[in-house]
Amino acid sequence: MEEKKILFSAIQPSGILTIGNYLGALRNFRKLQSDYNSVFSIADLHTLTVKQEPANLRKNTYELTALYLACGIDADQSILFAQSHVSAHAELAWILNTICYPGELSRMTQFKDKSLKHEDNINMGLMDYPVLMAADILLYQTELVPIGADQKQHLELARDLAIRFNNRYSETFKVPEGYIGKSCARVMSLAEPQRKMSKSDANLNAFISMDDDPDTIIRKFKRAVTDSDNKIIYSPEKPGISNLLSIYSAFTNKSIEDAEKEFAGVGYAEFKVAVGEAVASVIEPIRQEKNRLLNDKAYLDEVLKNGAERAERLAYRTLSKVYKKVGLVPRKRG
């Protein structure tokens, strides 16, 4: 790879992805990939921290691989691979565990939230999740980590662990910076616009999945909750309309002000259809390309194989340095 800075990010193959994931992650990945040496992972080991149906996890892993590609990740230019294919991730997580304190993990917001949500399965992996994430990032000497706002605490831990290790054993890891995309970082629910759009919402009309076809997308936007007056303006008193305006703005690359002008005097019903059409026109080609790729498992396997080989070379360079620094005797080969 040429001398550009290294970018690492990952998404869990845990099922449906929403337009929130697209705007918050995938779209930024595509934009950033030519400016950085980019490494994109499918965080399948992370997904195991909540109960999975094995067959679903396998299916979701292919789905996410296809979605990355359909969203414009170039598997030759960037590295695209499954986390479990590169065992250095689990190995570095072990070493980092030895310099991480339980208090740092038990006070993580996401751990507390997930513990409440999965009371029947509060396992060590759920608590250790941020350490594995730190290993993901630090293995590649990453400088930039695009993340959603909900991952800020985890990135902070990765930085702390890098600094702690460097101080204890001498300079080894780059200390990564987070990147939280500005445009429309938070997409809200279409049913309850005070809440974040979530794929696990029981109300299927509350979110737009990357698998929704245009008719479904437009139907869901038609049902989106608004308010009883009729002005299309961005305002804290109008969370429903504001959410629709910011989705429209994100999908059309127009500013909120321009969108407000465009829809001045237009009725809510017409506005909602326009938002639905704008979203569908971006999502539909991605959905079709994803489905086309999913019919070619051999190609997806090839992409993952190639990605794992390239990722592994980089990862082991860091891991062997780490093993040496902590005093493990290097294995003799041959």
Residue 63 in the binding site for ligand TRP (CB under 6 A) = no
Least distance (Å) between residue 11 CB and ligand TRP = 6
What is the distance between the alpha carbons of residues 232 and 94, in angstroms, rounded to a whole number? 53
Query: Whose Cβ is closer to ligand TRP: residue 4's or residue 297's?
Result: 4
Least distance (Å) between residue 284 CB and ligand TRP = 25
Q: Give the orientation angle of helix 152-169 with respect to helix 297-326, to 10 degrees.
A: 40
Q: Is 247 exposed, middle or buried (0-12, 13-18, 19+ CB in 10 A)?
A: buried
Q: From its phi and psi, is residue 141 left (phi > 0), alpha (psi between -120 and 50) or beta?
A: left
By rule CB under 6 A, what string of x and - marks binding of each residue 139-178 to ligand TRP? ------x-xx--x---------------------------
Residue 136 in the binding site for ligand TRP (CB under 6 A) = yes
What is the distance between the alpha carbons of residues 99 and 243, in angstroms, rounded to a whole number? 42
Residue 10 in the binding site for ligand TRP (CB under 6 A) = yes
Where does 227-296 have alpha helices with state H? 239-252, 256-262, 268-294
Question: Which residue spans within the chain are E strands per DSSP?
Answer: 6-11, 37-42, 79-82, 144-146, 177-179
Based on the residue annotation, tell me whether 114 is a catalytic residue of this protein.
Answer: yes
Catalytic residue among 199, 222, 254, 325: 199
What is the distance between the alpha carbons of residues 280 and 210, in angstroms, rounded to a whole number? 10
By rule CB under 6 A, what string of x and - marks binding of each residue 11-50 to ligand TRP? xx------------------------------x--x----
Among 133, 184, 275, 286, binds ligand TRP (CB under 6 A): 133
Q: Please tell me the count of residues contacting ligand TRP according to CB under 6 A.
A: 14
Catalytic residue among 5, 59, 174, 196: 196
Query: Whose Cβ is closer to ligand TRP: residue 145's or residue 304's?
Result: 145
Least distance (Å) between residue 60 CB and ligand TRP = 13
DSSP states along 189-214 = PSS-TTSB--TT-S-GGG--BTT--H
Q: Which residues are catalytic?
A: 114, 196, 199
Name the residues that contact ligand TRP, by CB under 6 A.
8-12, 43, 46, 133, 136-137, 145, 147-148, 151
